[in-house]
Structure 1
């Protein structure tokens, strides 16, 4: 079942990439995950490839038990109610904890965190051990055969595989995607999907709990992956050794206000791109944290093509935010998000300054504008000045 789901996901991803390659672009790792534009970068090509163990097999009820929490794994045609009845917890509590309607249908393999502990797995429930999983308590035969085969094929001894570590339990926050969560914990998005029974689109929902796959051969990885944990405090100064003389603290340099390029616009401009919307730049480009610029604009304000080009892609991210990509001379791409009422279609030729959409209503409303070539992003300001 997991192998079939992986194949289906790859076929869907391949179809999307073919649509892009048909436009002449080589984009084997192109990722339009716009959540990355706010903090993690939009390119998933550098996502970690740590080898991960397979998820431990549940008992006959679907229960996987760890020392600090338990989860239930859904079967085909399960709902929240049927899972709750099978494991013996109130359906309303199970639904509320996992951010689901009580009658929500579930995918085969989908994971639900239990609101309280139920009876531990045992031989009576089809488990090979009694009690919660602890390091070393799960025999290697409980790992999925596919994971073992992959490990053997890479020269990794199966004796080093361990599914006994308790995984980090991550609750999805607003704006997060499977890609950004996988990057955060240094695992592949496919492994994250397999462990949690995600669909072919890798969609996650706010409030959902995800189990972070256990990295093979690194039992301590799950205790240090959360940012901020495991940091070593610097050694305090010795009371016997005087501190060096302090240098005068330089006066802080005042931060200039955000640039507003709108007053400098002219009908004839030598800039390669024109401002896509009338407004002030409220967030600057940062290659590590914000791979574009944020332009404050009124909801409904027209969004214009930055230059002549061809509409390459119109899509949506996992939060259903519209994304428009225009291809320009020299294989440059301009990317627009935070938009609504798109007025063009894929394949259309557009002219510099032509209206292509409007700014989406928000609090506050703003346009995200990005310049890229393939998977490399550039600061848009030099192209606008």
Structure 2
């Protein structure tokens, strides 16, 4: 069977064992693995992010090159446009929304044109667009007029327009910021849901809090003196001529690494669907295998376990993750008609979903050991 080109499916977003490695999944699934392992992401150790600036009474935050509106509870695009005397259809189109779409409180709406700058009249704490500190002429306090508010200062965030297939987690990883900060800045919901054509602001570093100095490798610690430089090596005793008895050789015990990486001798998992592998495992490019199967084919659980996550990508394609014994996870995507929910116990071979209609139709299947993907074919009977 000739393999058709299929878009790479790097479901590192599915191995998100921040939830999967924990028994209580109260936090959002960490699809980018940034929070797994009590400190997998070290970004926070070298930078501190600023909080999003407060809007004025109209809900406007203004930077030199663009402005955004912060939605109030119950707002629609039309409500925001009416407050700012803008055309609702223009604002909606610019944000990839409809004019009557209901917004979350705190959600950001990018403005296609500028409105009046923040000022005391609009309830702003300072004047005009937020400028970088280096470009603001700061007047000494003792000579500044009492009625003149200080200009607002701060770094202008990068704007990122979401494209098909992106997630909040992949965008956070792209800009090396915590996904929680990305969500807080943009008013995302607890699942960090984003949509195609949405404009996101990328959190900026807090210039008021300096970045901690990072020493070069090996710096900051004294090099220990080797014992041989202060004590002579022992001399051989010529009186000792008899060979030293050694215990009988025993087979070496497996190391932790070999225990973690060696596949079961006879396979462990059932094949979730019957069919040819139309795209093989390639670490870093395809984190699983694609098995060709007609749309509607029943998808079976590869082994007994617990449903750790049920989610979907930005195209609405369902994703199922099942946690098994021995720190193993199986991941199933390009599916629909799920018959299980998060927290359900499943049995080996239980029907859990159906193959989604696509061209070609197939099941994407992954096996993961903790953080790392492994070749599923090594685990299939």
TM-score normalized with structure 2 length: 0.65
Tell me if the contact between 2:301 and 2:346 (Cα under 8 Å) persists in the aligned partners.
no
Secondary structure of 1:358's partner? strand
Superposition deviation, residue 42 in structure 1:
5.6
TM-score normalized with structure 1 length: 0.65
Q: Does 1:127 align with 2:124?
A: yes
Change (3 A) 1:332 1:112: same
Match of 1:180 in 2: 170
Secondary structure of 2:127's partner? coil
Match of 1:300 in 2: 296
Match of 2:239 in 1: none
Change (3 A) 1:348 1:165: closer
Number of aligned positions between the proteins = 288
Q: Does 1:216 align with 2:206?
A: yes
Q: Does 1:204 align with 2:194?
A: yes
Match of 2:259 in 1: none
Q: Does 1:275 align with 2:264?
A: no
Tell me if the contact between 2:172 and 2:179 (Cα under 8 Å) persists in the aligned partners.
yes
Tell me if the contact between 2:77 and 2:99 (Cα under 8 Å) persists in the aligned partners.
yes
Supply the distance in 2 between the matched residues of 1:166 and 1:349 (Cα, whole angstroms).
Answer: 49
Change (3 A) 1:356 1:111: closer
Superposition deviation, residue 289 in structure 1:
4.1
Structure 1 residue ranges without an equivalent (≥5): 1-15, 34-40, 140-161, 222-268
Tell me if the contact between 1:304 and 1:356 (Cα under 8 Å) persists in the aligned partners.
yes
Task: Between 316-325 and 367-376, report the one with greater CA deviation.
Answer: 316-325
Superposition deviation, residue 30 in structure 1:
8.9
1:6-62 Cα offsets, whole Å, 9 max, x none, are xxxxxxxxxx9599616xxxx8999463xxxxxxx6665344434210112222211
Match of 2:97 in 1: 100
Supply the distance in 2 between the matched residues of 1:374 and 1:214 (Cα, whole angstroms).
Answer: 32
User: Quick one: which of 12, 21, 24 aligns to 2:23?
Assistant: 21
Match of 2:305 in 1: 310
Higher helix share: 1
Supply the distance in 2 between the matched residues of 1:138 and 1:191 (Cα, whole angstroms).
Answer: 27
Structure 2 residue ranges without an equivalent (≥5): 1-17, 138-151, 212-264
Superposition deviation, residue 83 in structure 1:
1.0
Supply the distance in 2 between the matched residues of 1:338 and 1:42 (Cα, whole angstroms).
Answer: 21
Superposition deviation, residue 206 in structure 1:
1.5
Superposition deviation, residue 317 in structure 1:
2.7
Change (3 A) 1:170 1:60: same
